[in-house]
Amino acid sequence: MPRRASAPPTDVPFLTDKATEEEAALLVAEYCAQQQPIATPPIPIDDIIELHLKLTFEIGDLQSLFRCLADSTAGGVRVGLASAG
């Protein structure tokens, strides 16, 4: 049976669930101190990404981009490729 190739080395450290939650809380606190307080959900993640982290955030139409058809089936997504011609 073929074996999966090992993953390439990475400099991204593993974070436990607790560490991830602490980092997320810190990020939200930094955003609140610089931009605006967040009193209740929802968390403005797009503003945090763009204004605080200075990253570009876009939502695109992947169905059009990859010319595929998708529909929700049994809690998952089924993708079928459409003919290019």
* pLDDT tens profile 7-59: 666 787 888 999 999 999 999 999 999 988 988 889 888 888 888 888 887 77
Give the Cα separation of 21 and 27 in Å (integer). 10
DSSP 16-45: -HHHHHHHHHHHHHHHHHHT----SSPP-H
pLDDT, residue 54, reads: 86
- Which pair of structure tokens corresponds to residue 79? 């993708």
CB neighbour list of residue 68: distance below 8 Å, 6 or more residues apart: 62, 79, 80, 81, 82
pLDDT band at 4 (very low <50, low <70, confident <90, very high): low
